[in-house]
Amino acid sequence: MSDFSSEPIVSVKDATIFQETNAIVTGVNFDIQKGEFVYLIGRTGSGKSSILKTLYADLPLMTGYAQVAGFELSKIKPSKVPFLRRKVGIIFQDFELLPDRTVGDNLRFVMKATGWNSNQKIKEKISEVLMKVGLDSSVNKYPYQLSGGEQQRVVIARAIINEPLILVADEPTGNLDPKVADEILQLFRQINNSGTAILMATHNHKFLEKYPERVLKLDERKVLDSKKEKFEYSNVF
């Protein structure tokens, strides 16, 4: 039996990504290793979000093979999806925080939903993750009392609460001004340096220039991989 720690966190082979009955990306093949940082780029509507949603089982994998954090997506039962999502931290562009709950209660809600029972451990963990994202003094604030950048930090705290193997981020800086976007990317890089893999869909070409990492590019319904081939970024942004 192979050692799980040496297995890729994500492995996709000959997959087709669908939106309802439309095949939008075909012949998808890529792996993401433990601790890797990967950008996902492509024009609006090229299928970036659909690839991410397939990886955390929000869209079904109907053709091909994909394994994420030890779960085979074509065979995953609905009852197992919450267990997959404990291993995959999900970060959206539009925050999706509960507006009528404090920062602490937003995090507590997710923890209860993913099996945390001890109130003392919940309290300690909330304090720990808010400190990691630089918001330890905001536990009793409501989302409307926070800036966009601060709200995105809460979302990141929520995503790392179960110590996932990988963070999947869909345009996480899309609604933020350049300075705040850069601060959020720095936070992602810190999380990545501590061993969490990151797959980030982005339209921010400055990130790729300033902080070069491996790139997956969606182009004419295919996925190009900078680890395997050279390609232009400029025609995407």
- What does the mean pLDDT of the chain come to? 92
The arithmetic mean of pLDDT across residues 107-126, rounded, is: 93
Report the 3 state secondary structure along 39-73.
Answer: EEECCCCCCHHHHHHHHCCCCCCCEEEEEECCEEC
- The token pair at 11 is 């492995």
Q: Provide the number of structural domains found in the chain.
A: 1
- Look at residue 235 and tell me if it is in a domain: no
- Look at residue 135 and tell me if it is in a domain: no
Q: Which 8-state DSSP code applies to residue 88?
A: E
The arithmetic mean of pLDDT across residues 118-129, rounded, is: 96
Does residue 105 surpass a pLDDT of 60? yes
- Look at residue 199 and tell me if it is in a domain: yes
Residue 175's CATH number: 3.40.50.300
- Look at residue 120 and tell me if it is in a domain: no
Q: Are 43 and 63 in contact (CB under 8 A)?
A: no
Does residue 182 surpass a pLDDT of 80? yes
- Look at residue 105 and tell me if it is in a domain: no
| Full domain range(s) for residue 35 | 4-98+147-225
Does residue 233 surpass a pLDDT of 90? no
- Look at residue 62 and tell me if it is in a domain: yes
The arithmetic mean of pLDDT across residues 204-227, rounded, is: 92
- Look at residue 156 and tell me if it is in a domain: yes
- Look at residue 115 and tell me if it is in a domain: no
The arithmetic mean of pLDDT across residues 196-208, rounded, is: 94
| 21-77 tens-digit pLDDT | 889 999 999 999 999 999 999 988 889 999 999 999 999 999 999 999 999 999 999
Distance CA(164)–CA(195), nearest Å, equals 10
Helix axes 119-132, 103-113, angle to 10 degrees: 120
* The predicted structure's pLDDT at residue 20: 82
